[in-house]
Amino acid sequence: AGSQIQGRAGIPRQGRRRKSVAIAYEAGQDEGAEPRRARWEPRQWREQLQRIREMRSSRDAPVDDMGVQKCYDSSAPPQVKRYQVLLALMLSSQTKDQVTSAAMLRLRQRGLTVDSVLQMDDETLGQIIYPVGFWRNKVKYIKQTTAILKQKYGGDIPSTVEELVQLPGVGPKMAHLAMHIAWDSVAGIAVDTHVHRISNRLQWVKKETKHPEQTRVALEEWLPRDLWKEINWLLVGFGQQTCLPVKPRCSQCLNQDICPAAKRL
Protein backbone atom coordinates (compact mmCIF):
# COMPACT_ATOMS: atom_id res chain seq x y z
CA ALA A 1 0.00 0.00 0.00
CA GLY A 2 2.89 2.34 0.84
CA SER A 3 4.10 2.31 -2.76
CA GLN A 4 0.78 3.77 -3.90
CA ILE A 5 0.83 6.77 -1.53
CA GLN A 6 1.76 10.07 -3.19
CA GLY A 7 4.78 11.84 -1.76
CA ARG A 8 4.16 14.77 0.60
CA ALA A 9 4.05 18.23 -0.93
CA GLY A 10 7.47 19.45 -1.91
CA ILE A 11 9.06 16.00 -1.54
CA PRO A 12 9.22 14.16 -4.87
CA ARG A 13 8.84 10.42 -4.89
CA GLN A 14 12.05 8.39 -5.18
CA GLY A 15 11.28 7.30 -8.76
CA ARG A 16 10.82 10.90 -9.87
CA ARG A 17 14.01 12.02 -8.20
CA ARG A 18 16.08 9.39 -10.05
CA LYS A 19 14.53 10.39 -13.34
CA SER A 20 15.19 14.10 -12.91
CA VAL A 21 18.84 13.52 -12.01
CA ALA A 22 19.34 11.30 -15.06
CA ILE A 23 17.83 13.89 -17.37
CA ALA A 24 19.84 16.69 -15.77
CA TYR A 25 23.14 15.10 -16.32
CA GLU A 26 22.36 13.75 -19.72
CA ALA A 27 21.66 17.33 -20.76
CA GLY A 28 24.49 18.75 -18.67
CA GLN A 29 22.20 21.42 -17.18
CA ASP A 30 22.50 20.61 -13.47
CA GLU A 31 25.74 22.05 -12.13
CA GLY A 32 25.49 19.91 -9.04
CA ALA A 33 25.07 16.68 -10.95
CA GLU A 34 27.84 14.16 -11.15
CA PRO A 35 29.66 14.54 -14.52
CA ARG A 36 28.86 11.91 -17.12
CA ARG A 37 31.38 9.08 -17.22
CA ALA A 38 33.50 8.86 -20.32
CA ARG A 39 32.66 5.88 -22.51
CA TRP A 40 35.13 3.02 -22.10
CA GLU A 41 37.50 2.40 -24.96
CA PRO A 42 40.71 0.38 -25.25
CA ARG A 43 44.07 1.99 -24.72
CA GLN A 44 45.94 2.89 -27.93
CA TRP A 45 43.25 1.35 -30.13
CA ARG A 46 43.47 4.08 -32.75
CA GLU A 47 47.21 3.58 -33.13
CA GLN A 48 46.76 -0.21 -33.25
CA LEU A 49 44.05 0.15 -35.89
CA GLN A 50 46.16 2.45 -38.05
CA ARG A 51 49.06 0.02 -37.93
CA ILE A 52 46.77 -2.84 -38.95
CA ARG A 53 45.63 -0.70 -41.89
CA GLU A 54 49.27 -0.29 -42.89
CA MET A 55 49.86 -4.04 -42.69
CA ARG A 56 46.73 -4.65 -44.79
CA SER A 57 47.50 -1.97 -47.38
CA SER A 58 48.74 -4.47 -49.98
CA ARG A 59 45.38 -6.27 -49.92
CA ASP A 60 46.96 -9.64 -50.63
CA ALA A 61 45.31 -11.87 -48.03
CA PRO A 62 43.05 -14.75 -49.15
CA VAL A 63 39.98 -12.75 -48.12
CA ASP A 64 40.95 -9.99 -50.56
CA ASP A 65 41.06 -12.20 -53.63
CA MET A 66 38.67 -15.02 -52.71
CA GLY A 67 36.40 -13.65 -49.99
CA VAL A 68 32.62 -13.64 -50.30
CA GLN A 69 32.66 -10.16 -51.84
CA LYS A 70 34.53 -11.70 -54.80
CA CYS A 71 32.39 -14.85 -55.18
CA TYR A 72 29.24 -13.53 -56.82
CA ASP A 73 28.57 -12.67 -60.45
CA SER A 74 28.80 -8.88 -60.56
CA SER A 75 26.98 -8.82 -63.91
CA ALA A 76 23.93 -10.72 -62.60
CA PRO A 77 20.65 -8.96 -61.73
CA PRO A 78 20.66 -7.48 -58.20
CA GLN A 79 18.37 -10.15 -56.78
CA VAL A 80 20.58 -12.94 -58.13
CA LYS A 81 23.73 -11.24 -56.82
CA ARG A 82 22.22 -11.02 -53.35
CA TYR A 83 21.29 -14.70 -53.43
CA GLN A 84 24.81 -15.62 -54.51
CA VAL A 85 26.27 -13.54 -51.68
CA LEU A 86 24.13 -15.38 -49.14
CA LEU A 87 25.03 -18.76 -50.61
CA ALA A 88 28.75 -17.94 -50.52
CA LEU A 89 28.40 -16.95 -46.87
CA MET A 90 26.66 -20.22 -46.06
CA LEU A 91 29.44 -22.18 -47.77
CA SER A 92 32.19 -20.16 -46.08
CA SER A 93 31.48 -21.34 -42.53
CA GLN A 94 34.38 -23.47 -41.25
CA THR A 95 35.90 -23.32 -44.74
CA LYS A 96 38.96 -21.60 -46.18
CA ASP A 97 38.31 -18.80 -48.66
CA GLN A 98 40.07 -20.73 -51.42
CA VAL A 99 37.69 -23.68 -51.05
CA THR A 100 34.59 -21.47 -50.86
CA SER A 101 35.66 -19.53 -53.95
CA ALA A 102 36.21 -22.71 -55.96
CA ALA A 103 32.82 -24.13 -54.92
CA MET A 104 31.06 -20.90 -55.87
CA LEU A 105 32.76 -20.88 -59.26
CA ARG A 106 31.52 -24.43 -59.93
CA LEU A 107 27.99 -23.43 -58.90
CA ARG A 108 28.03 -20.31 -61.08
CA GLN A 109 29.18 -22.31 -64.08
CA ARG A 110 25.87 -24.17 -63.85
CA GLY A 111 23.88 -20.95 -63.53
CA LEU A 112 23.47 -20.08 -59.86
CA THR A 113 19.94 -18.86 -59.14
CA VAL A 114 17.18 -19.71 -56.70
CA ASP A 115 15.41 -21.76 -59.37
CA SER A 116 18.51 -23.65 -60.52
CA VAL A 117 19.30 -24.74 -56.96
CA LEU A 118 15.72 -25.81 -56.29
CA GLN A 119 15.81 -27.94 -59.45
CA MET A 120 19.10 -29.58 -58.44
CA ASP A 121 19.00 -32.85 -56.52
CA ASP A 122 20.87 -33.12 -53.23
CA GLU A 123 23.52 -35.50 -54.56
CA THR A 124 24.45 -33.18 -57.41
CA LEU A 125 24.60 -30.15 -55.12
CA GLY A 126 26.79 -32.06 -52.71
CA GLN A 127 29.20 -33.07 -55.47
CA ILE A 128 29.50 -29.45 -56.61
CA ILE A 129 30.17 -27.88 -53.22
CA TYR A 130 32.44 -30.62 -51.87
CA PRO A 131 34.92 -30.27 -50.08
CA VAL A 132 33.55 -27.27 -48.14
CA GLY A 133 33.33 -27.91 -44.42
CA PHE A 134 30.21 -29.81 -43.27
CA TRP A 135 29.08 -30.04 -46.89
CA ARG A 136 26.29 -32.54 -46.17
CA ASN A 137 24.65 -30.22 -43.66
CA LYS A 138 25.13 -27.30 -46.03
CA VAL A 139 23.32 -29.15 -48.82
CA LYS A 140 20.33 -29.47 -46.49
CA TYR A 141 20.49 -25.87 -45.29
CA ILE A 142 20.94 -24.45 -48.79
CA LYS A 143 17.92 -26.33 -50.12
CA GLN A 144 15.76 -25.33 -47.11
CA THR A 145 16.81 -21.69 -47.20
CA THR A 146 16.41 -21.43 -50.98
CA ALA A 147 12.87 -22.81 -50.75
CA ILE A 148 12.03 -20.21 -48.08
CA LEU A 149 13.47 -17.41 -50.21
CA LYS A 150 11.32 -18.54 -53.14
CA GLN A 151 8.13 -18.87 -51.11
CA LYS A 152 8.44 -15.97 -48.68
CA TYR A 153 10.68 -13.39 -50.36
CA GLY A 154 9.97 -13.82 -54.05
CA GLY A 155 13.43 -15.26 -54.67
CA ASP A 156 15.27 -12.38 -52.98
CA ILE A 157 17.00 -12.46 -49.58
CA PRO A 158 15.70 -10.69 -46.46
CA SER A 159 16.93 -7.16 -45.83
CA THR A 160 17.20 -7.32 -42.03
CA VAL A 161 19.50 -9.22 -39.68
CA GLU A 162 16.50 -10.44 -37.71
CA GLU A 163 15.02 -12.16 -40.76
CA LEU A 164 18.33 -13.43 -42.10
CA VAL A 165 19.24 -15.31 -38.92
CA GLN A 166 15.91 -17.13 -39.08
CA LEU A 167 17.05 -18.88 -42.26
CA PRO A 168 18.49 -22.40 -41.85
CA GLY A 169 22.28 -22.35 -41.76
CA VAL A 170 22.59 -18.56 -41.42
CA GLY A 171 24.24 -17.19 -38.27
CA PRO A 172 24.80 -13.64 -37.00
CA LYS A 173 28.18 -13.18 -38.70
CA MET A 174 26.73 -14.24 -42.06
CA ALA A 175 23.70 -12.01 -41.54
CA HIS A 176 25.79 -8.91 -40.85
CA LEU A 177 28.07 -9.62 -43.80
CA ALA A 178 25.04 -10.18 -46.03
CA MET A 179 23.76 -6.77 -44.96
CA HIS A 180 27.16 -5.20 -45.72
CA ILE A 181 27.81 -6.88 -49.07
CA ALA A 182 24.36 -7.61 -50.50
CA TRP A 183 22.40 -4.62 -49.18
CA ASP A 184 25.23 -2.11 -48.57
CA SER A 185 23.78 -1.55 -45.11
CA VAL A 186 25.64 -1.57 -41.80
CA ALA A 187 23.44 -3.12 -39.13
CA GLY A 188 26.28 -4.33 -36.92
CA ILE A 189 29.81 -5.74 -36.85
CA ALA A 190 30.43 -9.09 -38.53
CA VAL A 191 32.51 -11.11 -36.06
CA ASP A 192 34.11 -14.37 -37.15
CA THR A 193 36.86 -16.37 -35.44
CA HIS A 194 39.57 -13.95 -36.65
CA VAL A 195 37.80 -10.83 -35.36
CA HIS A 196 36.95 -12.63 -32.12
CA ARG A 197 40.53 -13.81 -31.53
CA ILE A 198 42.23 -10.53 -32.42
CA SER A 199 39.79 -8.38 -30.43
CA ASN A 200 40.64 -10.39 -27.33
CA ARG A 201 44.37 -10.33 -27.99
CA LEU A 202 44.36 -6.55 -28.43
CA GLN A 203 41.99 -6.22 -25.45
CA TRP A 204 39.46 -4.41 -27.58
CA VAL A 205 36.84 -5.96 -25.29
CA LYS A 206 36.39 -4.72 -21.74
CA LYS A 207 36.39 -8.28 -20.41
CA GLU A 208 37.50 -11.44 -22.18
CA THR A 209 34.76 -12.89 -24.36
CA LYS A 210 34.20 -16.58 -25.08
CA HIS A 211 32.08 -16.42 -28.22
CA PRO A 212 31.96 -14.24 -31.37
CA GLU A 213 28.49 -12.92 -30.52
CA GLN A 214 29.76 -11.67 -27.15
CA THR A 215 32.63 -9.99 -28.99
CA ARG A 216 30.24 -8.32 -31.42
CA VAL A 217 28.21 -6.82 -28.59
CA ALA A 218 31.36 -5.68 -26.77
CA LEU A 219 32.85 -4.04 -29.88
CA GLU A 220 29.63 -2.28 -30.81
CA GLU A 221 29.54 -0.63 -27.37
CA TRP A 222 32.59 1.52 -28.10
CA LEU A 223 33.83 1.23 -31.70
CA PRO A 224 32.67 4.23 -33.77
CA ARG A 225 29.92 3.18 -36.14
CA ASP A 226 31.72 4.44 -39.23
CA LEU A 227 34.32 1.70 -38.65
CA TRP A 228 31.88 -1.19 -38.30
CA LYS A 229 31.98 -2.19 -41.95
CA GLU A 230 35.76 -1.93 -42.31
CA ILE A 231 36.75 -3.82 -39.17
CA ASN A 232 35.79 -7.30 -40.41
CA TRP A 233 37.77 -7.00 -43.64
CA LEU A 234 40.80 -5.56 -41.83
CA LEU A 235 40.97 -8.12 -39.04
CA VAL A 236 40.15 -11.17 -41.15
CA GLY A 237 43.06 -10.48 -43.51
CA PHE A 238 45.31 -9.58 -40.58
CA GLY A 239 44.35 -12.86 -38.91
CA GLN A 240 45.04 -14.85 -42.08
CA GLN A 241 48.51 -13.40 -42.58
CA THR A 242 49.96 -12.20 -39.29
CA CYS A 243 47.89 -12.71 -36.15
CA LEU A 244 47.49 -16.44 -36.76
CA PRO A 245 45.47 -18.70 -34.41
CA VAL A 246 48.59 -20.74 -33.60
CA LYS A 247 52.11 -19.30 -33.65
CA PRO A 248 51.17 -15.71 -34.53
CA ARG A 249 53.90 -13.82 -36.37
CA CYS A 250 54.47 -11.22 -33.67
CA SER A 251 57.97 -10.42 -34.94
CA GLN A 252 56.42 -9.23 -38.23
CA CYS A 253 53.63 -7.24 -36.59
CA LEU A 254 53.80 -3.45 -36.41
CA ASN A 255 51.82 -3.61 -33.18
CA GLN A 256 54.32 -5.80 -31.37
CA ASP A 257 55.31 -3.04 -28.94
CA ILE A 258 51.72 -2.05 -28.08
CA CYS A 259 49.91 -5.40 -28.23
CA PRO A 260 48.95 -6.75 -24.78
CA ALA A 261 49.26 -10.33 -26.04
CA ALA A 262 52.59 -10.06 -27.89
CA LYS A 263 54.83 -10.89 -24.96
CA ARG A 264 52.72 -13.86 -23.87
CA LEU A 265 52.57 -15.55 -27.28
DSSP H helix total and E strand total for the chain: 13, 0
Q: What single string gives the DSSP state of each residue in 105-174? A: HHHHHT--SHHHHHHS-HHHHHHHHTTSTTHHHHHHHHHHHHHHHHHHSTTS--SSHHHHTTSTT--HHH
Mean pLDDT confidence for 177-202: 97
pLDDT number for residue 264? 60
Stated pTM of the model: 0.83
Q: Measure the CA–CA gap between 154 and 139, rounded to whole angstroms.
A: 21
Q: Measure the CA–CA gap between 57 and 51, rounded to whole angstroms.
A: 10
Would the pLDDT of 148 be above 90? yes
pLDDT number for residue 34? 52
pLDDT number for residue 95? 97
Cis peptide, bond prior to residue 131, ω within 30 of zero: yes
pLDDT number for residue 25? 33
- Asked if 103 and 91 count as a contact pair (C-beta separation under 8 A), the reply is yes
pLDDT number for residue 20? 38
- Sequence-distant (6+) residues with CB within 8 A of 18 are none
Mean pLDDT confidence for 247-263: 94
From 47, 55, 44, 39, select the one nearest 203 (Cα to Cα). Answer: 44
pLDDT number for residue 21? 38
Q: Calculate what percentage of the chain has a pLDDT beyond 90.
A: 84
Q: Calculate what percentage of the chain has a pLDDT beyond 70.
A: 85
From 117, 46, 127, 45, select the one nearest 86 (Cα to Cα). Answer: 117
Active site residues: 173
pLDDT number for residue 8? 43
Domains annotated for the chain, with CATH where assigned, are: 45-59+189-264 (1.10.1670.10), 73-183 (1.10.340.30)
Among the residues of 31-96, which ranges form H helices? 45-55, 62-66, 78-92
- Asked if 72 and 85 count as a contact pair (C-beta separation under 8 A), the reply is yes
| Average predicted confidence (pLDDT) for the chain | 89
State pLDDT tens for residues 7-49: 444 444 444 444 433 333 333 444 555 555 678 999 999 999 9
- Sequence-distant (6+) residues with CB within 8 A of 196 are 209, 211, 212, 215
State pLDDT tens for residues 77-116: 999 999 999 999 999 999 999 999 999 999 999 999 999 9
Mean pLDDT confidence for 186-192: 96
